Amino acid sequence: DIQMTQSPSSLSASVGDRVAITCRASQSIDNWLAWYQQKPGKPPQVLIYKTSKLESGVPPRFSGSGSGTEFTLTISSLQPDDFATYYCQHYNSNSPTFGQGTKVEVK
Amino acid sequence: EVQLVESGGGLAQPGGSLRLSCEASGFIFSSYEMNWVRQAPGKGLEWVAYISSLSSNIYYADSVKGRFTISRDNANNSLFLQMNSLSPEDTAVYFCARERAGAGRPDWFDSWGQGTLVTVSS
């Protein structure tokens, strides 16, 4: 199975900061990567699919980039609603896997 | 509005069984591939199982293969997960998740239920 590794596991940031989260795949997944946001007690919600495509309704401060094995989720200006845990997920095969998550906390 | 509502969670003994259900509404259920994803307390997300729209293709994570069975009833807009030989490592919130339609290949999960908690303990 393809392993997905996110970094960092957690980060502290302030409102207005630019935040970047990296996701590395153990082998090439082309651009079959999604990013999800999850808040405590809630299900995940997709933010970005196919590496860089913004899901409908997601603010444009979220963006995704990368290809092959290295991908990045960027929040251009962190807002209070963005403090949450973020997961990457590959869907390059019939056995999708998630990264371990990155918790974005208030500095 | 797309809605996915899981039920059937609860406390099970090690070695026991539980059957989870996910009732879908707000979309044409029979047109969508569906998945189960779980999340152990305080941990990350783990994909569990997949079923195609007409049940012709089914896949499982290695961690549940041979113990869990995914199925669906398109006439009643329902998804199921039969869980046998449960162990404490299966303790998690179980989410049903809809896969985006029409891609003809694996796709991301565009809608999720709220989840149902399964606790395996003696």
The one-digit pLDDT tens for each residue of chain A (107 residues) are: 999 999 999 999 999 999 999 999 999 999 999 999 999 999 999 999 999 999 999 999 999 999 999 999 999 999 999 999 999 999 999 999 999 999 999 99
For residue A2, the distance in angstroms to the closest alpha carbon of chain B comes to: 12
- What pLDDT score was predicted for residue A6? 98
Identify the pLDDT of residue B118. Answer: 98
Give the pLDDT band (50/70/90) at residue B114.
very high
pLDDT for B105 equals 83
The CA-atom distances, in angstroms, between A69 and each of A23, A33, A35, A53, B19 are: 8, 10, 15, 17, 37
Query: Which chain A residues have a beta carbon less than 8 Å from that of B3?
Result: none
Closest listed residue to residue A73, CA positions, set A22, A15, A3, A7: A22
pLDDT at B84: 98
Residue of A nearest to B57 (CA): A94
Surface-to-core class of residue A87, CB atoms within 10 Å of its CB (0-12 exposed, 13-18 middle, 19+ buried): buried
Task: Give the pLDDT score at B97.
Answer: 98
Query: Is pLDDT above 90 for B101?
Result: no
Cβ atoms A28, A48 nearer than 8 A: no
CB B94 within 8 Å of CB B7: no
Mutate to test the interface with B, among A94, A97, A102 (most CBs of B within 10 A): A94
**Residues in B touching A37 (Cβ below 8 Å):** none
**Which among B69, B71, B120, B114 has a CA at the least distance from the CA of B95?**
B114
Residue B53 in this model has a pLDDT that exceeds 80: yes
Buried b (16+ CB within 10 A) or exposed e, B96-114: bbbbbeeeeebbbbbbbbe
pLDDT number for residue B25: 98
User: Comparing C-alpha atoms, which of A27, A48, A16 is closest to residue B110?
Assistant: A48
Residue B87, amino acid:
S
Q: Flag whether pLDDT at B103 surpasses 90.
A: no
